[in-house]
Amino acid sequence: MSARSRIIGPYDEQRHALIAHLRSRGITDPDVLQAMDLVPRERFVQDFMRNRAYEDTALPIDDRQTISQPYTVALMTQALGVHDGMKILEIGTGSGYQAAILAAMGAKVITIERHPKLSAQARERLAALGLSAECRVGDGTIGYTGKAPYDGIIVTAGAPDVPEPLARQLSIGGRLIVPVGDLEQQTLYRVTRTADEAWNVEDLGPVKFVPLIGVEGWQADG
């Protein structure tokens, strides 16, 4: 599909109901709502869970990971301030759904996943929908300097602290959206780079994610 085309399918009614629910919870960015109305979330969950694709809840995927709650995806995307042509680094590809939302909004997406199987699945799903994203396998906690600096970085797993390499790969004015806390609960932060050695940090509220594993995150057995 093209970035702005509409998918017609059996889940349209549920998807539209989810959009109305997101509006009621304070998601106001029309581009975020449009992208989430266009991208078929049922294509990013396991087949036997497709009837639950538009519940506002996280769902399990392969490799003991999850596809994030739709409200959390919408909140993080809205906080990032996505616009057409932005270069965005995503840490934690997972199912590929967050990358699909960003790509549908016209962003240039580079997404990193530590599980090769998930990265390959996401690449196939995105390609099948005609959405463009560069899917890479590696340690997302150290970012990817090959395409830095980024207008935005979005982290879809909980970190023990803001990963310094990611903050330093932001352009001036760029934003990093990252959950920070312990293994049970995190706080979502928006970190904006205001100068070469200056960042502004905003608290966006409590969230819960799977742990961010890597050099600048938790240990694999943590």
In a domain, 188, yes or no: yes
Angle between helices 30-38 and 70-80 in degrees, nearest 10:
140
Average pLDDT value for residue range 184-213: 96
Is position 162 within any domain? yes
Any domain includes 139:
yes
Interatomic CA distance for residues 120 and 103, integer angstroms: 17
Helix (H/G/I), strand (E/B), else coil: 183: coil
Question: For 158-183, what is the mean pLDDT?
Answer: 97
Give per-residue pLDDT as tens, 90-137: 999 999 999 999 999 999 999 999 999 999 999 999 999 999 999 999
Q: Which residues are catalytic?
A: 68
Q: Is the pTM of this model over 0.95?
A: no
The burial class, CB within 10 Å (0-12 / 13-18 / 19+), for 106 is middle
Phi-psi region of 29 (alpha: psi -120 to 50; beta: other; left: phi over 0): beta
Q: pLDDT per residue over 210-219, tens digit each?
A: 999 999 999 9
220 located within any domain: no
pLDDT (tens digit, 9 = 90+) per residue, 80-91?
Answer: 999 999 999 999
CB atoms within 10 A of CB 183: 13
Q: Give residue 21's pLDDT.
A: 97
How many domains, the chain? 1
Query: Using CA atoms, how far apart are residues 113 and 118, in angstroms rounded to an integer?
Result: 7
* pLDDT digits 0-9 by tens, 64-80: 899 999 999 999 999 99
CATH number of the domain residue 66 falls in: 3.40.50.150
The band of 10, judged by pLDDT with boundaries at 50, 70 and 90, is confident
Q: Is the pLDDT of residue 142 over 60?
A: yes
- Domain ranges, residue 23: 12-207
